[in-house]
Chains A and B, each alone.
Chain A
Amino acid sequence: MKLAMQSRKSQLKMGETVAILFIFFILLTIGAVFYFNIKRASVTREGSEQFELKAVEITQSISFLPEAQCTESNVVKASCFDLYKLIALASLKNDPKIVRTYEREFGQSALTIRQVYPPGANYTIYENPPPQFNDASTTNIPISLYNATADRYYFGVLEVKVYR
């Protein structure tokens, strides 16, 4: 009789321990799922931040590209692109050698300069899209375009499209 009572008590105790362990593991699983979801969101956010920084870096690089900048007596003019330099660069954009040269600087992106006022042509000076891309970030920066032969400045926009 005493042995049977002791055995039932032990069974009850073991059942309790198993139930507590079960609840503990459920809570641990929920915690782990929550943690990994947060970690994934954080990694995605860091990825987009890096992508945005890359877009800013490319925009800065093109803004100070000597091959496109306006100069007067060797003095560089801020936020100004020489129209004839752009025409020359646009004519070379499909040359694989040129694409390879600029790939290190501009990566997988497209750089277009639009003449807004007076309305004029668009000049795509670099285009290197990946075969497949999920997203593209576009940055538009107002600039001046200088026509050296007419000695006129036009209002333009530098459009930087970065693919990922």
Chain B
Amino acid sequence: MELMGLTIIVILIILGILFAIKFVILKKPPETKASFTRSQMTSNLGMAILQSTSKNCKGTDVTELMTDCAQWIETGGLISCEDGRNSCRYVNETVAWILNSTLVQWKVKYYVSAGTSKNPKDPKVFEFSNLKCKDNQPGNSELFFLPTDRGVMTVKIFICS
């Protein structure tokens, strides 16, 4: 009789442990901050890059340089900056520099691209990615649309989770 009671107690304790493991130990930690940071990063990064004024390219902003590059992508852009670089090279090097000084240092996985064509084989204004991040992976994305003579240019900012 006592053995029966003991068996029931052991079974109850095992059930309790399994319950605790399922709902307490294996519970995924909430990623409130990570999710907030990712969404803020995607929207703010695009806005801040596009709004930035170039350091030494006739006071133009990155949006103007990108638009010029998209319109004259075969020649590398019509705008020629003070240091001799044309708009495509200037905008590529500037965006790469900004990304290397921020997201790369913070070890954030990202994919950033800009282009007018939907065909992936067509040349893009720029395309950067870090830590093998691709836009078909789970994460947060933000699209910015800029009108050009060659159609709408889409700037995609994608942060992998």
Contacts and interface: CB of A to CB of B under 8 A. Distances in A.
Interface of A: 16-17, 20, 23-24, 27, 30-31, 34-35, 38, 41-42, 45, 48-49, 52-53, 55-56, 59, 78-80, 116-118, 137, 139-144, 152-157
Interface of B: 2, 5-6, 9-10, 13, 16-17, 20, 24-25, 29-30, 32-33, 36-37, 40-41, 43-45, 47-49, 51-53, 55, 59, 61, 94, 97-98, 101-102, 106
B44 A141 contact: yes
Instruction: Give the most central of A17, A48, A141: most B CB within 10 Å.
Output: A141
B48 A144 contact: yes
Q: Is the interface of B mostly helix, strand, loop or mixed?
A: helix
Contacts of A48: 29
B55 to A, nearest CB: 4
B102 A142 contact: yes
B98 A116 contact: yes
A27 B9 contact: yes
B49 A155 contact: yes
A48 B30 CA distance: 10
A58 to B, nearest CB: 11
A86 B49 CA distance: 20
